[in-house]
Structure 1
Amino acid sequence: MVEKAVAPDTCFERLIDLVQTLRSDRGCPWDQAQTPEKIKVYLIEEAYEVLDAIESGTHEEVCAELGDLLFHIVFLAVIFEEIGAFSIKDVVRAITEKMIRRHPHVFGKVRLSNVDEVKAQWQKIKTAEAQDKEMARKSFLDAVPRKLPALMRAYRLGERASGVGFDWPDVGSVLVKVDEELREFKAVLKKGDAQKSAEEFGDLLFTMVNLSRFIRVHPETALTAAISKFISRFQSVEETLRKQGRSLDSASIEEMDRIWEECKTDEGTESPPPEVNT
């Protein structure tokens, strides 16, 4: 275990010292037993809790969740330092140098005038940095982590393919593809082929994710907003029935649809209610 000889004098050093103490012989048995393989699950959970706090929490909750995430990042770095791989200082140094390198329009003499130029420059620098890594990869797309959630992975794959020119020319072309995939999905759905239906549905979803790139809306963000809206409206249906002394089980689909429509009117929106199989 890594031992620290001097008392820390900054908040960040105190955190590092705390983790090192937890991992030391005089520390906590649970923390001592952790490995990168074990801790990665908690890292993912903490990242999602940060997202939840950003979406619906207070500033204090975001601060707390960011702290939890930072703790796990430092924890992982300390584990790797123990085996002589790298330290948290190496992590901080590397990301600082990378951000300086990828922002020549801020820290260098390059002049860029808009976001599109910045993104193009970023991709160009990133591609140059990755040349050695690319040689070791079987595919250009291997740079996209396989463990990403499906929507995010689809988005990143589309971005990466677009970076080498493999993309639709404009949003209209993507919409044509969406219509094509929807027709194919409807066709196999009528045939009752479950496997083919799943395949075509996946194609449709993938195309919709690519459409989101063209309209500059991240699919995760859009879907999260839609989920929140659905939950809010459904809870309004529940609350309306509760005030009537009734439960969801006692209401017909027609009654719930009517309340749903009233919720839409109150919101000032015109989106359709969810389709329910009866």
Structure 2
Amino acid sequence: MSDSPITQLLAIMARLRDPETGCPWDIKQDFDSIAPYTIEEAFEVAEAIAQRDYPELKEELGDLLLQVVFHSQIAREQGLFDFTEVVQVLCDKMVRRHPHVFGESDAADEQAVKVNWEQIKQQERARKGKTHQSALDGVPAGLPALQRASKVQKKAARVGFDWPEADPVREQVNLELAELDEALHNGHQADIEDELGDVIFTLVNLSRHLKIDPEQALRKATAKFETRFRQMEQDQPSPLDTLDPAALEAAWQQAKRRT
């Protein structure tokens, strides 16, 4: 019987890391050097999903799996853990965090599932000796800024620190923009950066109240801009950097109409 694809993948990774016969690049890597690639592959998975490119999604999921195997191989070499242990810990966690499926607990709806999930996570942290210090605990510092802002706000909202609806959040956006205008008028770069951050943070909060993923909304806006900009490049007989501001604006409006 032939080896399973997972067994083949683990063997390939071990071969690549072999100190004598492996690949020089793969041998050189460690947890820190691989981490950026892991993050990049996760974003490429998200991009394939956004584009509904399912053959590409299949490939990108494989690339993401490779990152897990790579980290696991490095850990095995250091006597920390191996891929089998990673999978077993995951299986145990999924069963433990779904008592309404694998145990005797009940969860009437999605909200009840979320409440149970958070309680179980707190219990897990306590068993690991990670005592609860703040309602904001558990949000990774390495998350993308928009995603981290949203998660921090959701955790604060769970203890009641939140606006009841979207309208006052929209008013807060105006207040933050006014403070940004004042900082721009004063011309202090540090204050401008601080106030701009407050504007973005409040917009994330508004997105949350509108039940819109700010990361996804920004991705769509960027893709829309890119489509229109490329159309503008195609429409113009001359390079864009040779056009004056009025001509650029006219070209942009034409591209918007065409797309």
TM-score (norm 1): 0.82
Question: 5 Å matches for 1:96-245?
Answer: 96-133=91-128, 135=130, 140-241=135-236, 245=237
Contact residue 123 and residue 163 of structure 1 kept, 8 A: no
Q: Deviations over 1:21-78 (max 9, x none)?
A: 2222432333222211222122222223323333347322222222122112101111
Unaligned runs of 5+ residues in structure 1 are 1-6, 268-278
Render the CA deviation track for 1:124-181: whole Å, top value 9, x for unaligned.
3223322345745765545222222222221222222223333333323322322221
- In 2, Cα distance between the equivalents of 1:132 and 1:186? 49
2:118, 2:168 → 1: CA distance? 24
**What is the aligned partner in structure 2 of residue 273 from structure 1?**
none
| Per-residue CA distance 1:3-38 (angstroms, 9 max, x = gap) | xxxx97211111111111222243233322221122
Q: For 1:92, what is the secondary structure of its paired residue?
A: helix
Q: Tell me whether 101-110 or 189-198 shows the greater mean CA deviation.
A: 101-110
Q: Which of 252, 255, 258 is 1:260 aligned to?
A: 252
Q: Is the 8 A contact 2:126 2:132 kept in 1?
A: no
Identity within the alignment, %: 39
Greater mean deviation of Cα atoms: 110-119 or 132-141: 132-141
- Superposition CA RMSD, Å: 2.5
| Separation in structure 2 between the aligned mates of residue 138 and residue 102 of structure 1, nearest angstrom | 22
Task: State whether structure 2 residue 22 is matched by structure 1 residue 22.
Answer: no
Q: What is the count of residue pairs matched by the alignment?
A: 258
Residue in structure 2 matched with residue 87 of structure 1 by the alignment: 82
Match of 2:26 among 23, 27, 31: 31
Change (3 A) 1:167 1:53: same
The verdict on how the C-alpha distance between 1:118 and 1:266 changes in structure 2, with shifts beyond 3 A counting, is farther
Unaligned 5+ segments in structure 2 are none
Work out the CA distance in 2 between the residues paired with 1:206 and 1:8: 53
Greater alpha carbon shift after TM alignment, 224-233 vs 183-192: 183-192
TM-score (norm 2): 0.87
Q: 1:86 is paired with a residue of what secondary structure?
A: coil
Q: Identify which range, 7-16 or 191-200, moves more after superposition.
A: 7-16
Q: Which AA in structure 2 matches 1:31?
A: D
- Residue of structure 2 in register with 1:270 after alignment: none
For 1:109 and 1:191, locate their aligned partners in 2 and report how far apart those are by CA, in whole Å. Answer: 62
Q: Please name the residue that 2:5 is paired with.
A: 11
Q: Distance in 2 between matches of 1:55 and 1:221?
A: 9
**3-state SS in 2 of match to 1:84:** coil
- Compare 160-169 and 148-157 and name the one that shifted more: 160-169
